[in-house]
Structure formats: structure tokens, C-alpha cells
Amino acid sequence: MEISEKKTRIRELWQLCFHDDERFVDLLFGRLYRDENALCLEERGVVTSALQMLPYRLVYGTSMPGVSYISGAATRPEYRNRGLMSRLLRDAFETMHSRAIPLSALIPAEPWLYDYYAVQGYAPVFYRSEMDFTAVHRFDGAGYRRVTLPLDKLYRFFDTCLRRRSCCMVHERNDFEVICSDIRLDGGEVVALADEAEELSALAFAVPHDGRTVVKELLAVDDTAREAALHEVSRVFPDAPVVVLTPPGEGRGTLQRMGMMRIVDVSAMLSIVAQNYPALRAVVRVTDPILPANNGLYRLVDGVCRQDSADCGTMCDLDVGVAELAVILFGDSRQSSLIDFPSVRPYMSLMLD
């Protein structure tokens, strides 16, 4: 299959399964699609199953491991329940491993898919808070004004704010431009505010949805700028309740499950953990029924991780499956204190889901 034909057929399968706005699909396949990141299966000239592996980075302490984000995982209705997506995911994991990408993330399209992806080694580690404000709530906007700035300047602010989070997926410049375009396609706006010294102080991504205004991401230098951004959002979209999506530690609202992570290369990920926590001393046994290369003992000492063959007689600090390891590494601080192993909650936003 030629490259142009492959792209066309994968796009057709996307629309068959997801029924998205054609303008949105144009944006995805025009700006984000890369043939080398797309995998598909075909039968008698028909693309039966497909997915894309979009490249991201995860801020993790002083490290930034690669993350392959699974997008558009779909199978033609008449070919479902034949194990095609499971096969395709295994091919994807092998591709990630060959590219030295230790992690994979995704957002299940339906609640029941959490169980399906759990079988593939993914764990639900991404959460968010949803803070609700009524239509009559008043925010203070004094000392700030809305500004229109070049995309490059907005991106620098955006990127800097994301990297300040302890564990967060970051977006490249091209991805940021696609995000802004998608917000506009949804009838929303990217609201930028400057303070009295003309310094960019807040950035909010807001869209109207089902009679509410959803702020998909809100980045600000402090709480005052954050309040001012919500004031401007309420002015742009008047007389509507406001819902603000935030990382769990930043909001006081309802906690919602939003995505999953899989460790594709355990040795590489535990090496990153060891580098960031050089005082950590631990022996971890990991079992991975899908990726046998991950099976074994891992010794973390003096900032280094060494993998040994599994020995059932060895005393371990942790003896876990690969999904359980993801839950531990990407859990909350309370869990970290209970098991005496570093845990940090990851966050992702604006994933075009």
C-alpha cells in the first residue's frame, strides 16, 4: 500500500468509527499524521484496524522520557472481536521499544475500554479535578487585560508553565498550533492576559459545551492571574456555568479518571526513577505477559538500575505486574509513603480527545 493510500484508508476508518467533524479530521490528518507513526492491518485490500502513535514527552523530575500517545485506535465493526487491536498494540509496543520510548499513554473513548486496555498492560493513572462555578459567580479581573500576541510567545509561556508541573505531558510547537485551531473549531477561544507591566500572566483554553463553558487548561503565574483569566472567560462566554479542568493537586473539585499509562520498557523507566532518586535502594520483580523482555529482577542502587534474570528465591521490595508498577510509579504521594517507593501523579491536557 502506498503512503498516500494508507493515509486515506486510515482516515476513512477513523470517520467510520468516530464520526468527527470533517474540519477536525482535516486538522489531525493535515498537521499531526505521520506515516511512520501509523500502524494498520489489512485484509484483501481493506484496512481492518489502525492506530497512530503520537510522540510526546513527559516531565519526570529532571528527566523527559518519551511517551507514545495512542490515537485513533479503531477496528471496522465487521472485524471486531477477532483480536486485531490486541495484535496491533503489540506491534506498536515493539515499535516504541525500538525507538527507545519507555511509556505509552491513551484516553479510552468509552468507560468499558478501561478494562480492555488493562488487559494490554495499561493502568488508570491520569486523573483531573473538575471545579464548577455557577453562572452568577463573579471573578476578580482587576489589574489585567486581554492581549493578542504572536503564537510563538504564547507557546513559550504555555511550555514553561507545563514544565513547572512535577509530572506532566508537554506539547511541541506544532501541536500547540493544532490545539489552538481545535479550540476555535469548537467555538472556543484561547484567552491570554497581561498584567499592568505588560507581562503575559495567564492563558486559558475555553470552549462552550452543553450550556457550560469548559476551561480545558488554565495556566497562570499566580492565583490572582488565574482569577483574572476566569473573569475574562466569563466575560467572553456570559451567563454560563464555568467548569475548570485542573491537575488533581491544583483543584478542589470532583476527581475524575481520564487516561491510562503503560510501561513499555521497564528497564529504561526504572533507570529514570533511579537517576531521579539516587538514594533509593530497592529490588523489584516485574512480570509482563505481553512483553517478556520486561520480565525480571531490577536492582536500584546509587542512581543506577540493573536488570537480572528472575530468581524466585530473591527477596524483593516489590513483586508486581507491569500495570501494577505503573500504578505505583504514577500514584499519589500517600501511596508513596505507604510503600516507601517514589510515586508522582502525572497529568495530561489538551490531547484533542
Cell match 470532583: residue? Answer: 254
d(CA 81, CA 314): 40
CA distances from 39 to 113, 158, 337 (A): 20, 31, 40
The closest alpha carbon to 25, from 11, 46, 40, belongs to: 11
Confidence of residue 327 (pLDDT cuts 50, 70, 90): very high
Tell me which of 9 and 251 has the higher pLDDT: 9
pLDDT at 251 over 90: no
What pLDDT is recorded for position 336?
62
d(CA 265, CA 99): 11
Query: Do the beta carbons of residue 178 and residue 164 sit within 8 Å?
Result: no
Q: For the chain, what is the mean pLDDT?
A: 95
Phi first, then psi: what are they for 311, rounded to 5°? -130, 110
What pLDDT is recorded for position 314?
78
What pLDDT is recorded for position 304?
97
44: left (phi over 0), alpha (psi -120 to 50) or beta: left
Query: Do the beta carbons of residue 221 and residue 201 sit within 8 Å?
Result: yes
**Burial label, 259 (beta-carbon count in 10 A; 0-12, 13-18, 19+):** buried
Query: Do the beta carbons of residue 276 and residue 63 sit within 8 Å?
Result: yes
What pLDDT is recorded for position 249?
78
Mean pLDDT for 285-312 is 91
pLDDT at 43 over 80: yes
pLDDT digits (tens, 9 = 90+) for 218-248: 999 999 999 999 999 999 999 999 999 999 8
d(CA 146, CA 77): 47
Report the SS3 class of residue 212: strand
Single-letter amino acid code for the residue at 44: R
d(CA 169, CA 348): 5
pLDDT at 338 over 70: no
pLDDT digits (tens, 9 = 90+) for 51-97: 999 999 999 999 999 999 999 999 999 999 999 999 999 999 999 99
CA atoms within 13 A on the CB side of 265: 22
Tell me which of 289 and 250 has the higher pLDDT: 289
Mean pLDDT for 314-321 is 91
Confidence of residue 337 (pLDDT cuts 50, 70, 90): low
DSSP at 347: B
- Number of helices (H), then strands (E), belonging to the chain: the values are 10, 16
Mean pLDDT for 156-176 is 97
